[in-house]
Each structure stands twice: as C-alpha cells, then as structure tokens.
Amino acid sequence: MSNITTVMNAVTAQVGKMVEVMTPIAKQAYETGLLVIRIDGLATLVPAVLTLLFSTYLIRKFYVSYKQYRDMATAHNAESPSRWEKDFTHYAPVSGMFIIFGGALSAIAAGISIITLLNVWLWVQVFIPQLWLAHEAMLTLLAKAL
C-alpha cells in the first residue's frame, strides 16, 4: 500500500509542477485554440462562397452562350437555301455539348457550395468557436460512451 501512496504522491507533485508552468500561458493557449477553430471554419467557408460565386457566373455565361448558339442556329437555318446548310449541327455539335456539360458541372458545384453554406455548425465554428468546441467535446464524449 505504501508503494501506491509513494507513486500517487510523485504523480501529484508532477501534476502540480505542470499546472504551475501552464497557468501563465493557459489563457493565451485558449485564445489561440479559438483562433485556430475560426481559421479552420474559414478554410471551408471561403472556398464554398467563391465556388458559389464562380458557378453562378458560369451558369449565367453558359445560359447566354446557349441562347446565342440557339439564335445563331435559327438565323443560319432561315438564311440557308440548301438542305445540307440548314442543318446547323453538322459543324457545331462540340459547342452545344460544351454548353450543356459546362452548365451541368457549374450547377453541381453550386449545389455542393449551397449545401456547405447551409451547414449551421460551419457558421457556429466561425462566429461562436466556444459553442463549436463544446459541441465537439460532447460528440467525442458520446462517441466514447457508445
């Protein structure tokens, strides 16, 4: 029994020394931790916003290109006398596929960005990192309990 008491006293002394050393920097470490949490949230938030803006621009650009492509095809078919020249798609199918493919990819990227921006805990992480930290601690404890 005295061995256990001796070990416990040694551990308590070491923990006391650690507390003495860490007490002066604890507040600074806590603030730094909160800053890291905010930066981590911004590292997700900023690309999502930029992707949404760029995707919106591309969707608009592809829509305008599609309208121009359609108008050009209609005008060309009306002016061309021969049957072969009326078929506008014989020399521009790549443009049409590019418009459709690019618009679809932009819509998918915009959808992913919107889903990311609708994540409440992302906004909590950026603006209230203390609550996010408590949430993560609770999730960790619940995961270990189960």
Residue 97 vs residues 9, 57, 60, 62, 73: alpha-carbon distances, Å: 76, 19, 16, 11, 14
Query: What pLDDT score was predicted for residue 10?
Result: 82
Query: For 25-39, 41-55, 92-106, 125-139, which range has the lowest pLDDT when averaged over its residues?
Result: 92-106
Query: What pLDDT score was predicted for residue 13?
Result: 82
Each residue's pLDDT tens digit, 102-137 = 888 999 999 999 999 999 999 999 999 999 999 998
Q: Residue 37 pLDDT more than 60?
A: yes
Lookup: tokens for 116 = 């990311």
Rounded Cα gap, residues 44 and 122, in angstroms:
8
Letter string b/e over residues 91-108, b meaning 16 or more CB atoms within 10 A of that residue's CB: eeeebbeebeebbeebee
Contact 71, 92 (CB under 8 A): no
Contact 122, 44 (CB under 8 A): yes
Q: Name the pLDDT band for 47 (thresholds 50, 70, 90).
A: very high
